[in-house]
């Protein structure tokens, strides 16, 4: 039985365990990346481990999220990251160099290697043939220190691509089609591997768009083979020496299969307020648009930007539309400036933003009240844009640019002759905003601003876990709900005490107050609790407020791991109807908790209603030890 690409990547990096579906394995990590929204906490945790130098082949710290410097907080965090990177062997990508995933694909991604990033869209690297996984900052800190990354062996799903994309249909439409079929929960516990003749028709930037938004499926990661198109891209980046060919063997076996005929796809849109709420663009034609934003780690490549520029060239953006453009990297922006495309964008009326995440994470460009915003981004959760009443649609650059000119949602196929933009034979290369680490970091002073506060640490589990139900929330609660990440709060990502005042406020405005008045307690959630971003702040803020456990119908992968890493017990209802009976204010008790976490099923008592609930604790043996110790840092400190 032959191996597929995902199995080859896992096998060559396997450190512990067996590659049997559902079993825990540990893999060696070659590269790590962080960004400034999660990076400050990750490096504080790395320092707490006492490791002098990173052990990876390459670790890179990017500044791309917290770019608005209305006060000193963001700049202070950036200086901290720069100095800690210099000291400990980490490359530092300065503000303005670009979005972590775009730059990493351009300058650092290596086929056949593993990449662990403290950002949920790290799977972008799968577009170049990496096993690229998003995780919490603490997991990344451990990997930088030379530790393994643990995960449950996923199912590997074959996505067979046939045919070829028609003019005006893009890679964005491929992943939107997959989301339409499988939903935001359809990828949990899975790796999606793309195969078939259709793969050869897709460039690396197109592949990266697809693997990037695979995160919205809840997938562990997504991966493409490393082939002639990969070599073509690496040659254009002056990095052909990094190429390794890698493909699935003819008799490779998968755990499932999805087939997509690229020739049958049409322009699609994800409607408010979920990336899986998909309809064909033709069904939305004529809807008035207030804002169009082109960029983000999903669609900010050179080809994406050139496509948009070609569509608006010689035209004027509709008078009622605000068009903003955020090129994904300094490389992309420079090339647009050199070839005249930037002039075309500016002449059309587009506003040029810096090369950063920007509007995608709510850092500026909030739409008007009740506005319609078309974005080439990856998420359209309610309120994520900065305007709770706004309706955000996720579309391709083709749809976005056509709609900006017309003033209403438009099908780009109506534009007529197709635009042919291809990957250039050679990219502009200037890495002067990437700062290498010091050869000897012992004398480097790490600078800490006053906004950087110690992160909370859990205590070993008590014999009796007891608390009030502080709040009860519904399905698909995102990490944006649990720990909002708007422009006002992002500067305080290194200040958990301050952030905790906003924990779960979008769902329950009184949650922080109730948590403090009751000395902590328990959260009850619905299906897919904690979907979205990898931010471990969604676990750290509840930990600071004294949350001891979360009971839910199901959890998103990264958030569940972050809860366990910080000593918070994630329990899943065995009988879903038990969720319905629980009321806010009920007192829940887990007796004999130390021995209880050794079991796959535990009983939680509702002493208020005199009821008992059977709960599943689906964790690995290592995670059980972690919960007893009070989190990953405590376990590492204990040498376990």
The predicted-structure confidence for 243-287, as pLDDT tens digits, reads as follows 999 999 999 999 999 999 999 999 999 999 999 999 999 999 999
Q: Give the mean pLDDT of 589-606.
A: 95
Q: Are 5 and 248 in contact (CB under 8 A)?
A: yes
Q: Within a 13 Å sphere around the CA of 593, how many CA atoms are in the beta-carbon half?
A: 23
Sign of the CA dihedral running 188, 630, 613, 505? negative
Asked if domains 5-264 and 268-413 share a fold, the reply is yes
Classify residue 528 as left (phi > 0), alpha (psi -120 to 50) or beta. left
Question: Looking at residue 397, what is its pLDDT?
Answer: 98
Question: Looking at residue 68, what is its pLDDT?
Answer: 87
Q: Give the mean pLDDT of 456-468.
A: 93
- What letters, b where the CB count within 10 A reaches 16 and e where it falls short, cover 373-394? bbbbbbbbbbbbbbbeebbbbb
The predicted-structure confidence for 58-105, as pLDDT tens digits, reads as follows 999 999 998 888 899 999 999 999 999 999 999 999 999 999 999 999
Q: What percent of the chain has pLDDT over 70?
A: 100
Q: Are 64 and 99 in contact (CB under 8 A)?
A: yes
- Fold for the domain defined by 465-637: Aconitase; domain 4 (3.20.19)
Distance CA 317, CA 349 (A): 6
Q: Are 401 and 319 in contact (CB under 8 A)?
A: no
Q: Sheet with 351-352: list strands edge to edge.
A: 278-280, 268-270, 391-394, 372-375, 291-294, 322-325, 351-352
What band does 454 get if pLDDT is binned at 50, 70 and 90? confident
Question: Looking at residue 55, what is its pLDDT?
Answer: 97
Question: Looking at residue 490, what is its pLDDT?
Answer: 86
Q: What percent of the chain has pLDDT over 90?
A: 92
Radius of gyration of the chain (CA): 24
Provide the residue ranges of all domains of the chain, joining segments of one domain with +.
5-264, 268-413, 465-637
Cβ within 8 Å of residue 557, ≥6 positions away: 188, 189, 218, 220
Distance CA 31, CA 387 (A): 36
Please give, one letter per residue, the 3-state secondary structure of 274-298.
CCCCEEEHHHCCCCECCEEEECCCC
Task: Please measure the distance between the N-terminal and C-terminal CA atoms of the chain and give it in whole angstroms.
Answer: 36
| pLDDT of 640 strictly over 80 | no
The predicted-structure confidence for 513-560, as pLDDT tens digits, reads as follows 999 999 999 999 999 999 988 889 999 999 999 999 999 999 999 999
Question: Looking at residue 638, what is its pLDDT?
Answer: 84
Mean pLDDT across the chain: 96
| pLDDT of 487 strictly over 90 | no
Distance CA 564, CA 362 (A): 28
**H helices present in 214-329, as ranges:** 228-236, 302-312
Q: Closest Cα to residue 130, out of 150, 146, 109? A: 109
Q: Give the mean pLDDT of 359-364.
A: 90
Q: Give the mean pLDDT of 27-46.
A: 95
Q: Sheet with 190-195: list strands edge to edge.
A: 221-223, 190-195, 155-162, 256-261
How many DSSP H helices and E strands does the chain contain? 21, 27
What band does 389 get if pLDDT is binned at 50, 70 and 90? very high
Q: Closest Cα to residue 107, out of 60, 143, 57? A: 60
- Fold for the domain defined by 5-264: Aconitase; domain 3 (3.30.499)
Tell me which CATH code domain 268-413 carries. Answer: 3.30.499.10
């Amino acid at each position: 039985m032959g191996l597929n690409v995902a199995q080859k990547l896992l096998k060559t990096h396997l450190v512990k365990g067996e590659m049997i579906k559902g079993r825990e394995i540990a893999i060696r990590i070659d590269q790590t990346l962080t960004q400034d929204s999660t990076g400050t906490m990750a490096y504080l945790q790395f320092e707490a481990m006492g490791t002098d130098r990173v052990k990876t082949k390459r670790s890179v710290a990017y500044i791309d999220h917290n770019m608005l410097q209305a006060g000193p907080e963001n700049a202070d965090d950036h200086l901290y990251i720069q100095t800690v990177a210099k000291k400990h062997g980490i490359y530092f990508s300065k503000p303005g160099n670009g979005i972590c995933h775009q730059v990493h694909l351009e300058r650092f991604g290596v086929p056949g290697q593993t990449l662990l990033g403290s950002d949920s869209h790290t799977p972008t690297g799968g577009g170049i043939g990496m096993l690229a996984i998003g995780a919490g900052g603490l997991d990344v800190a451990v990997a930088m220190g030379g530790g393994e990354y643990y995960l449950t062996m996923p199912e590997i799903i074959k996505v067979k691509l046939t045919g070829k994309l028609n003019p005006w249909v893009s890679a964005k439409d491929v992943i939107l089609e997959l989301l339409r079929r499988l939903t935001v929960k359809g990828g949990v516990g899975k790796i999606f591997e793309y195969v078939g003749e259709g793969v050869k028709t897709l460039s690396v930037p197109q592949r990266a768009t697809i693997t990037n938004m695979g995160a919205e499926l809840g997938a562990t990661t997504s991966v493409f083979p490393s082939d002639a198109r990969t070599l073509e891209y690496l040659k254009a980046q002056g990095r052909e020496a990094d190429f390794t060919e890698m493909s699935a063997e003819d008799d490779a076996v998968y755990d499932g299969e999805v087939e997509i005929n690229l020739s049958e796809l049409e322009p699609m849109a994800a409607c408010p307020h979920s990336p899986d709420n998909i309809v064909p663009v033709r069904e939305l034609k004529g809807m008035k648009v207030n804002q169009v934003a082109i960029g983000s780690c999903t669609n900010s490549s050179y080809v994406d930007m050139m496509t948009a520029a070609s569509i608006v060239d010689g035209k004027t953006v509709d008078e009622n539309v605000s068009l903003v453009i955020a090129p994904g990297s300094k490389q992309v922006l420079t090339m647009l400036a050199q070839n005249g495309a930037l002039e075309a964008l500016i002449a059309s009326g587009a506003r040029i933003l810096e090369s950063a995440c920007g509007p995608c994470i709510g850092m500026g460009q909030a739409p008007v009240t009740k506005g319609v915003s078309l974005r080439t981004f990856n998420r359209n959760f309610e309120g994520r844009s900065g305007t709770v009443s706004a309706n955000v649609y996720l579309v391709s650059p083709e749809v976005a640019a056509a709609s900006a000119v017309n003033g209403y949602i438009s099908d780009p196929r109506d534009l007529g002759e197709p635009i042919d933009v291809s990957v250039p034979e050679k990219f502009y290369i200037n890495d002067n905003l990437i700062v290498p680490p010091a050869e000897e970091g012992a004398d480097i002073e790490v600078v800490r601003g006053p906004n950087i506060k110690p992160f909370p640490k859990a205590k070993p589990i008590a014999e009796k876990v007891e608390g009030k139900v502080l709040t009860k929330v519904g399905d698909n609660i995102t990490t944006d709900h649990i720990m909002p990440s708007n422009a006002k709060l992002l500067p305080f990502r290194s200040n958990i005490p301050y952030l905790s005042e906003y924990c779960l406020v979008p769902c329950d405005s009184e949650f922080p107050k109730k948590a403090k008045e009751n000395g902590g307690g328990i959260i009850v959630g619905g299906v897919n609790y904690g979907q979205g971003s990898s931010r471990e702040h969604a676990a750290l803020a509840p930990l600071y407020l004294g949350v001891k456990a979360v009971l839910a119908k199901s959890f998103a992968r990264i958030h569940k791991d972050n809860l366990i890493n910080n000593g918070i017990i994630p329990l899943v209802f065995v009988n879903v109807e038990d969720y319905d009976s629980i009321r806010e204010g009920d007192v829940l008790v887990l007796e004999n908790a130390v021995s209880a976490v050794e079991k796959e099923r535990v009983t939680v008592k509702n002493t208020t209603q005199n009821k008992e609930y059977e709960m599943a604790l689906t964790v690995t043996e290592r995670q059980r030890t972690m919960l007893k110790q009070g989190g990953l840092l405590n376990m590492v400190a204990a040498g376990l």
